[in-house]
């Protein structure tokens, strides 16, 4: 088991280098020059030249990537072109915000999605099933940023429960900070829940018609025991992969939702950095997000061992 | 980010109630349906309301009375104003820093930290007398040494260094007198000192070096001092107790600017709808740059005033001279201008609240007289005729633009050009790429805008003089007239020269102005002293939260 994990972690290295290279390449390929963005349309050419040289932008692409990689290996991700601060610090300040939104949204999507899916499966083709189907389709087809705005209009204006500006940092006052996470997590979580509902229902129906479930029923076990103890565990297995993959989608979706809710997360940092052509910040943010996503994938794979006794890694 | 992105400012102010409203699409039937829906909604929401009350007691944060909270569009990126042209940086920080000479409400240079100024008879020296007893936030008094240091830094390191080309020397005559010596007379020096883009604000001597080369903790002389900046969360400034109040009447950045609250908190909120929502539920007192849907939703609101006023910023169209069909074809350029229905753009883009821009300088400028007030001709038939006489052979023309409101202008322009048989395609770019296009001149035609600048020279010269333009435009007469106007210190002769320049612009048609956009701002009825300004800056000074 340990060797499996070690091997998987090692394979992350080339993956991360490849991701860094691609994002570096993309930034080099798109037009737009940090010096121009920093100095603006009025800037004279001499000032631009001076700044370019100062930022090292006049050197060839591979040389720049080489330097970046070599520094990154030594743990130095560079400083922001704009703010003259360590990008590692800038990203780490914001990462908890993005992660918390994603984790809360995952929890919400799983709790809501699985419960509705199970209920729909049990009540198959009855009114409840139809209602759940409509709800999940609404969730599936609703853009999260739009739903976010609806939540703001409802729970910040119509019923002023949650504030929408004036974010309190997590490390200053955790509970005061939490209130800023409720609506964004709901916006992301509930839109994702629709998908999980559909999936749980399908998976559950399949399991409920399996032989061992019939056996359990014929033993005279209570319906609830059959569903929760015998069927649910098996039905959830295919969901684990989806939840892991969803996390990646959430990291992407966080960019939009952070903008709508003015949350100081990594997503907003990336968007701003791309607009400003602040290369070191983009590189570091992409790297951190890639690390998180690959770790979540690894955990997803490993969780099978725990959840399904038939799966063995060797 | 550059200044060209920014829509700002406005001149005529009116209370929202007096603004002509668009007819609302509500019929009697519609209204009754809304009432019905509301009743059922109320029943459904009663449970939520109970929960709401419970939660809000849990989550209520105590908020002090003397805090003024402002929702801005974007966070600041750089607090070293000498080096940044980004509008969103200076929007909050011009409450912390102050000009020697700054623009007044009409965009004209006026003394701020200067007591007054005197020109030498030969026009080769400007002597500026400083106000005495002005304190920096570090506790030291501002003297001529600080002024010389700040001006030298702007002149040597700032992105607008070329505006100070004629300056040979900046000398401290005594503690409260500074002399700026010139190699040749220039009328634009006052404008260069007052230009809010990468502004020449006063910082203590040696401050940048003390902070490691660039300024990361702003120290100015303004009514508010820098307290804390948490990126993407807030920028907080506090009242500066030792502020030297200027007793002259308030106008723009000049005159009395007093801190009447203890704290101002600027919160960056990207979405206009969310800024409006935060204003509506009382989280912020001022919300800048609201979109029209949010403006109309808040109109007549019990707690909020919204104002939409013509901005100092206007959109303009710039032809490319390095590539494309317009480069060598003045007839085609004139045809495009003649086919542009500016009234329609005002209607479509600003819901009739903006204003047509006739000339290359804003309508309120003291220079905007004579030809500057004459509308450019709109005549489709004549435009079609011009296209027929031109070299245009049906090729596709690429319309580039600066993202934001200018994109919509590009789209309207596309339809105008279709009317006279010119094929176009919109060149969709994000901000960085678009700026790169402008900077390299790699475009057929470029739609963008200009925010408030203090001198007519700023509008006509840097972008179009053959030595500094990125477009490739070169016209000896245009260069000569601009150089002459720059060196002319007599106001009447200068006005005449800028009329000649405007005439030449209309004739040779390298670029043309479109419309003044709008400045849309909302603020709480609970605050006193706030007044929207055409220049787009928010006066957080002289504002109280009773």
Residue A313 — pLDDT band, cuts 50, 70, 90?
A: low
Pick from B54-63, B224-233, B279-288: least confident? B54-63
- Give tens-digit pLDDT for B9-51: 333 333 333 333 333 333 333 333 333 344 444 444 455 555 5
Supply the DSSP string of B435-483, one letter for each residue.
HHHHHHT--SEEEEEE---SSHHHHHSTTTSTTT-SS----HHHHHHHH
> What is the chain A residue with the closest CA to B51?
A161
**Looking at residue A42, what is its pLDDT?**
67
For residues B450-467, average pLDDT: 92
Q: Which of B52, B234, B435 sits opposite A41 (nearest CB)?
A: B435
Percent share of chain A, pLDDT over 90: 30
Distance between A292 CA and the closest CA of chain B, angstroms: 22
Residue A314 reports pLDDT greater than 70: no
What local confidence, expressed as pLDDT, does residue B35 receive?
35
Mean pLDDT score across all residues of chain A: 87
Question: What was the pLDDT predicted at B351?
Answer: 83
Reduced 3-state DSSP string for B411-441:
HHHHHHHHHCCCCEEEECCCHHHHHHHHHHC
Q: Classify residue B276 by burial, with Cβ atoms within 10 Å: 0-12, 13-18, 19+.
A: buried
The band of B349, judged by pLDDT with boundaries at 50, 70 and 90, is: confident
Which of B45, B429, B438 has its CB closest to that of A41?
B438
Q: How confident is the model at residue B65 (pLDDT cuts 50, 70, 90)?
A: low
Nearest to A166 among B77, B267, B432 (CB): B267
Q: Is the pLDDT of residue B359 over 50?
A: yes
Chain A positions touching B433 (Cβ under 8 A) are: 30-32
pLDDT band at A172 (very low <50, low <70, confident <90, very high): confident
Q: What is the CATH number of domain B314-518?
A: 3.10.105.10
Class of domain B46-94+212-310+519-524: alpha beta
Q: What mean pLDDT do residues A87-96 have?
A: 91
| Superfamily designation of domain A90-307 | MetI-like (1.10.3720.10)
CB contact under 8 Å between B84 and A38, yes or no, is: yes
Predicted pLDDT at B47: 52
Interface test with B, best of A165, A261, A269 (most B CBs within 10 A): A165
B167-213 tens-digit pLDDT: 999 999 999 999 999 999 998 899 999 999 999 999 999 999 999 88
Query: For residue A291, how far is the Cα from the chain centroid?
Result: 12
Residues of A in contact with B154 (CB under 8 A): none
CA distances from B424 to A214, B349, B411, B417, B427 (A): 68, 20, 10, 8, 9
Distance from CA of A169 to the nearest CA of B (A): 8
Which residues, in sequence order, are bridge partners of residue B310? B518
Taking 90 as the threshold, does the pLDDT of residue B55 lie above it?
Answer: no
pLDDT at B533 over 70: yes
CA distance B212 to B417: 53
Structure confidence by residue, pLDDT tens digits, B101-135: 999 988 889 999 999 999 999 989 999 999 999 99
For residue B212, how many other CB atoms are within 10 A of its CB?
9
Q: How many CB pairs under 8 A join A and B?
A: 167
Tell me, which fold does domain B8-16+97-210 have in CATH? Dipeptide-binding Protein; domain 1 (3.90.76)
The reported pLDDT for the residue numbered B149 is 97
Q: Which chain B residue is nearest to residue A31, measuring alpha carbons?
A: B433
* Domain limits, chain A: 2-73, 90-307
The pLDDT of B531-538, averaged and rounded, is 92
* Distance of residue B96 Cα from the nearest chain A Cα, in angstroms: 19
Which chain A positions have a beta carbon within 8 Å of B45's beta carbon? 158-159
Helix (H, G, I), strand (E, B) or coil at B403: coil
* DSSP sequence for B158-173: STTGGGGTTEEEEEEE
Using the predicted structure, report yes or no on whether residue A245 has a pLDDT greater than 90. no
Q: Where are the domains of chain B?
A: 8-16+97-210, 46-94+212-310+519-524, 314-518
């Amino acid at each position: 088991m340990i060797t499996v994990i070690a091997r998987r972690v090692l394979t992350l290295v080339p993956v991360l280098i490849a991701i860094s290279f691609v994002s570096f390449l993309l930034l080099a390929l798109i037009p737009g020059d940090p010096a121009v963005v920093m100095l603006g349309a009025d800037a004279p050419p001499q000032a631009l030249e001076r700044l370019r040289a100062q930022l090292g932008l006049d050197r060839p692409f591979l040389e720049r990537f080489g330097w970046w990689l070599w520094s990154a290996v030594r743990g130095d991700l560079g400083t922001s072109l704009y703010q003259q601060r360590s990008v590692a610090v800038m990203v780490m300040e914001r990462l908890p915000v993005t992660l918390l939104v994603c984790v809360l949204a995952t929890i919400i999507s799983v709790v809501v999605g699985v419960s509705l899916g199970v209920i729909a499966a049990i009540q198959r083709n009855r009114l409840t099933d139809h209602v759940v189907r409509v709800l999940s389709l609404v969730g599936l087809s609703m853009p999260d940023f739009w739903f976010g705005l609806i939540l703001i209009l409802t729970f910040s204006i119509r019923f002023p429960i949650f504030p929408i500006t004036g974010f309190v940092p997590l490390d200053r006052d955790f509970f005061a900070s939490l209130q800023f996470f409720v609506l964004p997590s709901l916006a992301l979580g509930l839109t994702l829940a629709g998908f999980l509902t559909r999936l749980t229902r399908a998976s559950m129906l399949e399991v409920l018609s399996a032989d061992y479930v019939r056996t359990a029923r014929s033993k005279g076990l209570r319906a609830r025991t059959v569903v929760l103890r015998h069927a649910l565990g098996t039905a959830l297995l295919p969901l684990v992969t989806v939840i892991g993959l969803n996390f990646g989608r959430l990291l992407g979706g966080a960019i939009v939702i952070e903008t709508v809710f003015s949350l100081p997360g990594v997503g907003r940092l990336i968007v701003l950095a791309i607009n400003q052509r602040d290369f070191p910040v983009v590189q570091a943010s992409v790297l951190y997000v890639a690390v998180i996503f690959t770790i979540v994938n690894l955990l997803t794979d490993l969780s099978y061992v725990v959840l399904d006794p038939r799966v063995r890694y060797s | 980010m550059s200044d060209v992105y920014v829509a700002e400012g406005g001149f005529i102010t009116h209370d929202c109630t007096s603004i002509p409203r668009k007819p609302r699409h509500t019929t009697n039937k519609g209204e009754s349906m809304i009432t019905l829906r509301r009743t059922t909604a109320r029943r459904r929401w009663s449970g939520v309301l109970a929960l709401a009350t419970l939660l809000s007691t849990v989550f209520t944060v105590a908020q002090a009375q003397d805090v003024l909270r402002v929702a801005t569009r974007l966070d600041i990126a750089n607090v070293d104003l000498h080096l940044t042209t980004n509008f969103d940086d200076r929007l909050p920080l011009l409450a912390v820093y102050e000009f020697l000479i700054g623009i007044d409400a009409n965009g004209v240079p006026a003394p701020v930290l200067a007591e007054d100024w005197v020109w030498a008879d030969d026009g080769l020296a400007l002597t500026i007398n400083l106000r005495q007893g002005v304190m920096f936030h570090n506790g030291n008094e501002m003297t001529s040494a600080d002024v010389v240091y700040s001006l030298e830094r702007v002149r040597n390191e700032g992105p607008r260094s070329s505006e100070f080309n004629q300056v040979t020397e900046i000398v401290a005559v005594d503690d409260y007198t500074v002399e700026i010596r010139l190699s040749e007379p220039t009328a634009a020096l006052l404008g260069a000192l007052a230009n809010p883009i990468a502004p020449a604000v006063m910082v203590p001597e040696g401050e940048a070096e003390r902070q490691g080369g660039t300024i990361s903790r702003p120290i100015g002389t303004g009514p508010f001092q820098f307290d804390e900046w948490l990126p993407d969360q807030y920028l907080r400034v506090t009242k500066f107790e030792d502020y030297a109040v200027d007793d002259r009447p308030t106008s723009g950045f000049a005159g009395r600017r007093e801190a009447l609250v203890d704290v101002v908190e600027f919160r960056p909120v990207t979405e206009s709808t969310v800024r409006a929502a935060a204003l509506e539920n009382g989280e912020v007192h001022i919300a800048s740059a609201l979109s029209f849907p949010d403006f109309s939703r808040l109109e007549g609101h019990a707690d909020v005033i919204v104002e939409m006023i013509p901005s100092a910023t206007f959109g303009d169209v710039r032809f490319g001279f390095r590539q494309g069909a317009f480069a060598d074809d003045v007839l085609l350029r004139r045809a495009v201008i003649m086919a542009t229905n500016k009234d329609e753009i005002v209607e479509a883009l600003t819901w009739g609240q903006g204003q047509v821009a006739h000339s290359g300088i804003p309508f309120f400028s003291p220079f905007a007289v004579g030809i500057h007030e004459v509308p450019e001709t709109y005549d489709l038939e004549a435009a079609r005729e011009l296209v027929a006489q031109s070299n245009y052979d049906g090729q596709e023309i690429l319309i580039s633009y600066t993202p934001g409101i200018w994109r919509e202008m590009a789209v309207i322009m596309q339809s105008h050009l279709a009317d006279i048989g010119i094929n176009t395609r919109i060149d969709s770019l994000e901000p960085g790429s678009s700026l790169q296009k402008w900077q390299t001149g790699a475009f057929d035609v470029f739609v963008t805008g200009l925010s408030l600048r203090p001198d007519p020279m700023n509008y006509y010269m840097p972008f179009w003089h053959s030595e500094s333009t990125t477009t490739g435009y070169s016209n000896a007469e245009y260069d000569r007239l601009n150089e002459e106007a720059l060196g002319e210190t007599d106001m009447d002769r200068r006005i005449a020269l800028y009329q000649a320049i405007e005439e030449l612009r209309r004739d040779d048609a390298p670029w043309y102005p479109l419309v003044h956009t709008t400045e849309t701002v909302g603020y709480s009825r609970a605050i006193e002293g706030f007044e929207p300004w055409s220049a787009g800056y928010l006066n957080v000074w002289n504002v109280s939260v009773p």
